[in-house]
């Protein structure tokens, strides 16, 4: 499936250029990130084959995932550049949800003009530079996973997360 072009996204994106994002870096919030003892993540390039590229434990697992933009600027090879775009979670619940099922929606957003705007941008703007880091937390309860996600996104404040709470929510209000 073909990715949406910048011009296609611009036609449906009403809040200015789709590449522009508010990034909020507050070291005081970073201090509030709990040491969740996350396992080493599995990194997979995001594209239409992301679900097939998942190892079995990730396909059937639940936990936290993070979308990163990894640009390939013309910098020395020892300079690593990553931008966290989004933090999400997969809980099992009554539906027996897993990473494989959750990423069906993301793959369907590739080339989809009717996708929610934050997912449209996430899945289409950087087709060769977007990676997903999966943290398999299958040993944790759904409540623990939800609490971990909330702690992370409220203190890191990724630009494409829309659900924020408390003081973090104020970072998205413009006057």
pLDDT digits (tens, 9 = 90+) for 86-101: 999 999 877 778 999 9
Q: Is the pLDDT of residue 147 over 90?
A: yes
State residue 161's pLDDT score: 80
Burial grade of 13 (CB within 10 A; 0-12, 13-18, 19 or more): middle
To the nearest whole number, what is the mean pLDDT of the chain?
Answer: 88
Q: Is the pLDDT of residue 170 over 70?
A: no
pTM of the model: 0.89
Percent of the chain with pLDDT over 90: 62
State residue 174's pLDDT score: 47
Q: How confident is the model over 12-37, as pLDDT tens digits?
A: 876 677 888 888 888 999 999 999 99
Cβ(109)–Cβ(95) under 8 Å?
no
Q: Is the pLDDT of residue 130 over 70?
A: yes
Burial grade of 66 (CB within 10 A; 0-12, 13-18, 19 or more): buried
User: By C-alpha distance, which of 117, 139, 128, 163 is closest to 48?
Assistant: 128
Read off the pLDDT of each residue in 150-163 and give the average, rounded to a whole number. Answer: 87
Read off the pLDDT of each residue in 39-63 and give the average, rounded to a whole number. Answer: 96
Region of 63 (left: φ > 0; alpha: ψ -120 to 50; beta: rest) is: left
Q: Confidence class of residue 6 from pLDDT cuts 50, 70 and 90?
A: confident
Read off the pLDDT of each residue in 106-130 and give the average, rounded to a whole number. Answer: 93
Q: Confidence class of residue 166 from pLDDT cuts 50, 70 and 90?
A: low
Q: How does DSSP assign 69-101, residue by residue?
A: E----S--TT----EEEEEEEE--GGGT--HHH
């Amino acid at each position: 499936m073909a990715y949406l072009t910048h011009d296609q996204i611009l036609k449906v994106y009403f809040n200015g250029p789709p590449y522009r994002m508010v990034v909020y870096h507050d070291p005081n919030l970073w201090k509030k990130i709990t040491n969740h003892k996350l396992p080493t993540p599995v990194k997979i390039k995001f594209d239409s084959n992301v679900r097939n590229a998942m190892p079995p434990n990730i396909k059937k697992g639940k936990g936290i995932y993070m979308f990163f933009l990894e640009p390939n600027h013309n910098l020395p090879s020892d300079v690593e550049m990553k931008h966290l775009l989004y933090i999400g979670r997969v809980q099992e619940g009554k539906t027996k949800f897993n990473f494989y099922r959750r990423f069906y929606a993301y793959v369907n957003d590739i080339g989809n003009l009717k996708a929610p705007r934050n997912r449209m941008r996430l899945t289409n703007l950087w087709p060769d530079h977007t990676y997903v880091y999966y943290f398999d937390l299958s040993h944790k309860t759904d409540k623990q996973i939800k609490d971990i996600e909330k702690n992370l996104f409220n203190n890191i404040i990724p630009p494409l997360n829309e659900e924020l709470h408390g003081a973090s929510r104020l970072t998205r209000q413009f006057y």
